[in-house]
Structure 1
Amino acid sequence: MKIIRALLPLVCLPAIAVAGGYDDVVQAELRPGWRLPNGDHMAALHLTLAPGWKTYWRAPGDAGIPPIFDWRGGQTRAVEVHWPAPHVFHQSGMRSIGYKGEVVLPLRVSLRNLGKDSRLRGVIDIGICKDVCLPHRVRVEAILPASGGKPDPMIAAAMADVPFSAAEAGVKAVKCEVGLGSDGMTLKARINMPRSSGAPETVIETADPNVWVAEPTSRWEGGQLVSETRLSHMDGAAFALDRSGVRITVISSGMAVDIKGCDR
């Protein structure tokens, strides 16, 4: 799978050179939103995709392209992206995580000039996929008004679709067992949580972006959800796993849960 990840951008680039752009496939805009009581601003990136196309979540899987955000150039200190619960796609024997049709990504913006209108400007590199997966860049800009503006229903709905926290979902304990594998490390997470309907899917991330995580296998064993995966360093080097930095997202019918850190 590491080979596939390395070759994917090379497969995509010639397609872009031939096609000359995909602005007709994805439309991007900033929804200006509203000012929060503490001085932060709630806005959103709104992506609309042509029929049959999809884009990717923050951890897109081996078949996807992770989004990269550059918010420099505006009048902001920081921009925090909130991710609505994604969908799981299976195509050609590979799994990807993302969105189809359209997606609203809420943005909590920390401003430099409190009490004033502020400019938010972004350059976002995303992956879009239909029969092949392609990198695409969008540029967005908007003025965030300091006064007026009621909560945007589309942003509010997207915030309501953000995965539940572990506490909200009734997760009681998360035990992570680490072992040695033939190509790095193995990880088995035992999650004590209420059983949901449908077959569960899990996504496992680590705090180190240089650690590659294989697609997990997930199953219910009694009252526990068991998720197993393999980890290895991109450079083939030895590494230590910080259990507190492990992030597990559980995706099942009708709900998603964001679990941060292992208990042990």
Structure 2
Amino acid sequence: MRLRKTLLAALALLASPVVAFSQSFDDVLVATLLTGWRQSDGSHMAAVQLSLKPGWHTYWRAPGDAGIPPLFDLSGSGNFKGVQVIWPRPDVYTDNGLRSIVYYDEVVLPLRVMPKANGKDIALTAKIDVGICKDICVPQTLNVSAVLPATANKRDPRIAAALADRPFSGKQAGAKNLRCQISPSADGIKLATTLTLPRVGQREAVIIETADPLLWVAEPEVTRNGNQLSAITEIQNVEGAPFMLNRSGIRITVLGESRAVEINGCKGG
């Protein structure tokens, strides 16, 4: 199987204002931080908006066979403890037999930002590395910053719409009986998953991720029989070393034209 050498880096994200600061490159990509609002639990819901020229795309957290995910460095931020990125439903793009998981034209990535000191502003500074593609692929680095006011309480409809488009949980979607069978293969292991899940739309796609960034997961072979969905994939270590697969760290996302479903962890079959 084709082994993708690019390693998936861990998520660490960003955030910012309604229009605090933006940066563009050759009129192809503009990044804007949306300041959002402070939530009742003390966290701040912000977002980064990536706007591309028509026909261009950028990548989801697991980019597929070709591409890189957005990578964020927030080490220069003030009153910053951590962040959770919330990924809206992406699209599937296939070119020359390679499958990529992408966002076309524009995407708003909601960010739940946790401050060190509750009730105070967050000074967010983010370096964002992304890949953008059309006929060619171009890496870009964006530097953006903004203050997330502690007093902000008005919901931004752009962020709210992106939150509404995030994947359903397995429980919400009626997923049941997820099982994983692991067996050795020539270069790693074979993972076979089965679950009960009503169809999520036409042209379903399955993406399987692991908790280990050194593990490469091939595009699975997917079959459906009524509500029974099966996927078989190959997993290899990009360094060629032996490895153990933690079933609790497996994440399965099922994409459809109408919605997406995300299931975390699976039991042995």
127-136 vs 224-233, greater mean Cα deviation: 127-136
Offset, 1:48 = 0.2
1:30 aligns with 2:30: no
Distance 2:152 2:126 in 1: 23
Tell whether the 8 Å contact from 1:33 to 1:42 is kept in structure 2 after alignment: yes
Offset, 1:22 = 3.5
The residue aligned with 1:246 is 250
Choose from 76, 82, 105 the match for 1:78.
82
Tell whether the 8 Å contact from 2:91 to 2:102 is kept in structure 1 after alignment: yes
Q: Flag the 1:263–1:4 CA change in 2: closer, same or farther, 3 A.
A: closer
The residue aligned with 1:52 is 55
1:194 alignment partner AA: P
Distance 1:173 1:235 in 2: 33
1:64 aligns with 2:67: yes
1:133 aligns with 2:137: yes
Question: Runs of 4+ in structure 1 displaced over 6 angstroms?
Answer: none
Distance 2:74 2:63 in 1: 21
Percent identity over paired residues: 49
TM-score of the superposition, structure 1-length normalised? 0.91
1:168 alignment partner AA: Q
2:48 alignment partner AA: L
Offset, 1:57 = 0.3
Tell whether the 8 Å contact from 2:59 to 2:101 is kept in structure 1 after alignment: yes
Distance 2:161 2:63 in 1: 22
The residue aligned with 2:101 is 97
Q: Which runs of 5+ in 1 are unaligned?
A: 7-20
Tell whether the 8 Å contact from 1:71 to 1:79 is kept in structure 2 after alignment: no
Q: Count matched residues.
A: 250
Choose from 200, 203, 206 the match for 1:199.
203
Offset, 1:4 = 6.7
Q: Deviations over 1:146-190 (max 9, x none)?
A: 114311111011000000000000001211111111221101110
2:134 alignment partner AA: K
What RMSD over aligned residues (CA atoms) do the two structures have, in Å? 1.5
Distance 1:25 1:106 in 2: 22
Which structure has greater helix proportion?
1
Tell whether the 8 Å contact from 2:126 to 2:143 is kept in structure 1 after alignment: yes
The residue aligned with 2:235 is 231
1:197 alignment partner AA: G
Offset, 1:192 = 1.1
Offset, 1:5 = 4.7
Distance 2:154 2:199 in 1: 38
The residue aligned with 2:19 is none
